[in-house]
Amino acid sequence: MLDFLGNLERTNLCGTLRAADAGKPVVLMGWVNRRRDHGNLIFLDLRDRSGIAQIVLDKELTPDGHLKGEQVRPEYVVAAVGKVRLRAQDAINPKMPTGEIEIEATQLLVLNDTRQAPFSPSEDAIQNEETRLKYRYIDLRRPEMQRNFRLRHDITLAIRESLSEQGFLEIETPILTKSTPEGARDFLVPSRVHPGEFYALPQSPQIFKQILMISGFDRYFQIARCFRDEDLRADRQLEFTQVDLEMSFPRQESVFAVVENFLKAAFAAAGVTLPTPFPKITYDDSMRRFGSDKPDLRLPGLTDVRPAFADAALATLQIDPALPVVAFRIPNVGELSRKEREDNHPMFDTKKGAKFIDDFKRLAKSFPDSAAKVRELTGAAEADFVIVVAGDPAHPVKASDTKFEGRLSEREINVYSAAGNFRTELAKKYADRHKAFHVTEKVVVEAHPHGASDPIDGSTAFHPIWIVDFPMFEYDLPSGKWMPAHHPFTAPHEHDMANLVSDPASVRANCYDLAMNGLELGSGSIRIHRKDIQQQIFASLGISDEEARARFGFFLDALEYGTPPHGGIALGLDRIVMLLAGAPNMREVVAFPKTAKALDLMAEAPTNVSDQQLKELHIRVALKS
């Protein structure tokens, strides 16, 4: 028989009681985490979102409560009425925050029972993630998940407060709208009222936030949901949350300062200090030094080892002398057998016109000086695994040959990124040996959110870095055209504006990315605020006037009505939380995520809909057989 709640009011949260509360009458409510039956005494570990308190049901004190205690099972929902008392010395549990006390119950109400759950929230996450996602409500009861979402709340709140203090207004923009050109596929919503017409879900609030600047709001932000129909990866979801902002009359540095301020606040909310200002690196330098535009600075980068090889050596090794020759080292991997090295080979991207040398013994046999010099230049210790990556003349990559003074060519970028990707993959694989990531894990585990104690120094664990001066265009071989590397509202560098049509490859974009520990946290740009330049950009992208009008006509119109110079950025909130929660993937910090196959296993979405619904929407489904 279940009890009614009646007028009973909860007085405390389980996990907050301490020795100083001894003697207090309390009413606690929650789930039975565990039950231990010692005959005349039954112990219930009662759990709510704050933690666990031990309830004692003494047959003598509460025969009725004891009887109910015999019937309750884990995950029953109960209310315990009683008094806090100190535990006997030998019963103190130093591992529990409430381990010094227990509740001497005078009454137990059983508010609800439960079906046999497929797993217990009192234990660690089960391996089968599909079951976790199907029964997400039970999975979310686990203390680790409760902690992740509390953290997410604290971080979001800190960001909101920081942005508000910095003069930003939170303004909502539509979910049912028109396509935004962020480069992904749109989710479409058919209109019932306008047969055959569709809304698109926003890939970002980009156009609206720019219009808000035209409207004079000066500083806008939104914790915005964005929708992109893309294939899912570990750090992607079909819908995700951005900290999206835009400001009028900014320089790049103004945007950087705003972001650094709110990230500092977000990290502080997680109990970690983040030193500002963040370092800055150009795209070309980032490629040169890390082979990536989202470098992980926790491991050594790439070293130019061209000087270690005489021309004859390069010829014998069949290395392209005109392209970069770089090396990187993964610390402390130790000696690898041939088999172990071969197992790594599929991680090397062979489509970048590059090759690698990972057999140093062999290299040392034919070119002892080169091998020694490479190790010297990279600063490799005995146990470090060193790999040389260089251009492969046998498999040249198809790329534009345009090369500008002081800038990297596409072929060079390809070699660097082959090295950078290999470095990232090997770093993941040998994480337990080089231990460079453990610093971050340790800080996250030791940090105390909610300002409980002093913040932990995050300077060795988190490495934010701004990437600037991206190329404005990328060469698209199939079409032979220079395509925009960013969304088409990104302003070119003022200095490069004159080359827009004549030398697109030389034009740098006035845009920036923020990377941290190998993740792209966000990107933004100073925008085009003049219609003539916006039209030029559309033209250079091969977007005709008609197409531009059809897709962004309203925006082009708006640009003509006194648009201030403006710029902004969007940061992935899910990724920020993921980093600070030390979560292995985004699903751990999204309450109801989708699987890699884009399914919501709990709600069972997507699904078929009724013929009637389709009819109303003027839609007929034609499945490919």
Chain contacts with ligand ASP (rule: CB under 6 A): 182, 204, 206, 523-525, 568-570
| Smallest distance, ligand ASP to C-beta of residue 580, A | 21
- Answer for the pair 156, 265: CB distance below 8 angstroms, yes or no: no
Question: Smaller CB distance to ligand ASP: residue 200 or 372?
Answer: 200
- Nearest distance from residue 224's CB to ligand ASP, in Å? 9
C-alpha to C-alpha distance for 180 and 183, rounded to whole angstroms: 8
> For residues 570 and 204, what is the distance between their CA atoms, to the nearest angstrom?
9
Sheet with 280-282: list strands edge to edge.
Answer: 169-170, 219-227, 239-248, 566-572, 519-526, 511-516, 464-468, 280-282
Burial 51-76 (b: 16+ CB within 10 A, else e): bbbbbbbbbebbeebbebbeebebbb
Q: State the nearest-atom distance from the C-beta of 496 to ligand ASP, in Å.
A: 19
CB of 225 to ligand ASP, least distance (A): 12
Nearer to ligand ASP, 227 or 360 (CB): 227
Full DSSP string of 360-371: HHHHHHH-HHHH
As measured in angstroms, the least distance from the Cβ of 258 to ligand ASP is 12
Give the list of residues 6+ apart from residue 67 with CB closer than 8 angstroms, or none.
none
Cis check for the bond before 250: say yes or no (omega within 30 of 0): no
Compute the least distance from the CB of residue 243 to ligand ASP, in Å: 10
- Minimum CB distance to ligand ASP, residue 85 (Å): 56
Residues sharing a CB contact under 8 Å with residue 129, sequence separation 6 or more, in sequence order = 587, 595
Percentages helix, strand, coil for the chain (3-state, rounded to 5) are 35, 25, 40
Q: Shortest CA distance to 357 belongs to which of 369, 398, 518, 344? A: 344
Contacts of 514 (CB under 8 A, 6+ apart): 259, 278, 464, 465, 466, 467, 520, 521, 522, 523, 569, 571
Spell out the alpha helix ranges (H) of 219-290: 252-269, 283-290
Tokens of 447: 């940090």
CB of 526 to ligand ASP, least distance (A): 10
Query: Considering beta carbons, is residue 436 or 569 the nearer one to ligand ASP?
Result: 569
- Angstrom distance (rounded) from CA 68 to CA 66: 5
Task: State the nearest-atom distance from the C-beta of 25 to ligand ASP, in Å.
Answer: 54
DSSP classification of residue 184: S
User: In terms of CB distance, is 148 or 204 closer to ligand ASP?
Assistant: 204
Work out how close the CB of 20 gets to ligand ASP at its nearest, in angstroms, rounded to a whole number: 49
Nearest to 418 by CA among 340, 325, 336: 325
> What 3-state DSSP class applies to 23?
coil
